[in-house]
Amino acid sequence: MAPVPEPVPEPVPVWESGAYQPYLAGLRLAGRRVLVAGGGSVAQRRLPGLLAAGADVLLVSPEVTPTVEGLVGSSGLRWEQRGYAASDLDGAWYALALTDDSEVNAQLVRDAEAARVFCVRADAGAQGSAVTPATGQQGPVAVAVLGGGDPQRAAAVRNGIVEALREGRLDTLGRRRPPGAGLPGVAVVGGGPGDPDLISVRGRRLLAHADVVVADRLAPQSLLAELGPGVEIVDAAKLPRGRAMAQQAINDVLVERALQGRFVVRLKGGDPFVFGRGSEEVAACVAAGVPVTVVPGITSAIAVPGLAGIPLTHRGVAHEAVIVSGHLAPGHPDSLVDWPSLAGLRGTLVLLMAVERLGAIAAVLIEHGRPGGTPVAVIENGSLATERVTTSTLAGAAAAAAAAGVRPPAIVVVGDVVGQRSSAAPTLQP
């Protein structure tokens, strides 16, 4: 009887052998299909960058985080609520295996190799045909760093380079203290209206030193991609009519992580103290004896109209501006807003969280004296590439918003200052 031959192991691909260093290249993904398998925290970090690059992203995952769910419907992102299938690679230029199932990730890498599609594997980076570097950006300069298999080193060097570029110094590249070293407690940081460049210098510096980041849906999501791999991200996203992390649970996370000796950054959209419940989080920290600091942010109520070319005040037009929450309709028993009194004002009204109740708000303002012909602007996704402005009058604003398919987040500006937009529209700066 002939001897049974020994099985011959499959050769290890050259790109997986570790014999060669990865070749860094910038991918132009605008309009090109990118497959993302998995909708967890890693996908949450990677998706904003892919969308900012204009990629046509297909996301396949049975479940996604609340923040990822909030991105669905944004330009270029489609979510199919199911597991990965090999046919998902059809037409793809790039793929990311980000599931929590190692077998699924391995299969995706194999399928991508057969289809000649470069693929990143999050749970075993050396086994993918591509590697995600630690990335950052300062103005037009983009930085990508590979740490030779040490992602924390890559993140530290990246942070050092970006911070040096931001502060105009190039003599301390890559030198930063370890996350949280010497930093106590909690920092409640306002992230600004959405564009990551509009966070304060102090807020970004503290974010770079965080051990834990508790981020909500309106915080600048692309900032999360700059965090080191050892940073814990807690998703505190609050989707309209969707899943919500109770405020008490958020407070508990801040206190618990800080009492463990970790430096916690609570990253919020806009300003923490303008309809942001930041004062409740500060109070919880103080009550628990946790050191806490507040880093103000640019509130979207002021920044978004300004970026759209609408001044809240203008000589001879408006000498007052009032910021109002529209999350409760006029007449709701829990509402603290005196709508009849606001109707008598001649200046600017800025309404937050008011898209769904715009018709009822307009009706009560008109009923109590505000002219129906008052100009109105509804600004969606302010400060982002997807910003869109819908203009109308107070009487027609709700119908115009509905016809345009306006969705939150959006800022509503009521007042004659809306007419200044054409002359005040800012010029784009590099």
Catalytic residues: 216, 238
User: If you ran DSSP here, which 8-state letter would residue 238 be given?
Assistant: B
d(CA 335, CA 198): 31
Q: Is the Cβ–Cβ distance between 36 and 15 less than 8 Å?
A: no
* Contacts for 397 with CB less than 8 Å, ≥ 6 apart: 358, 362, 376, 378, 412, 414
Structure-token pair, residue 306: 């300004």
Q: How many CA atoms lie within 13 A of 256 on its CB side?
A: 8
Closest CA to 121 of 137, 98, 90, 143: 98
Identify the CA nearest to 350 among candidates 273, 272, 274: 274
- Cα torsion at 272, 274, 276, 279 (round to 10°)? 70
In whole angstroms, how large is the CA radius of gyration of the chain? 24
Q: Determine the straight-line distance between the first and last CA of the chain, rounded to whole angstroms.
A: 77
User: Which residue, among 1, 369, 49, has the nearest Cα to 57 in the 3D structure?
Assistant: 49
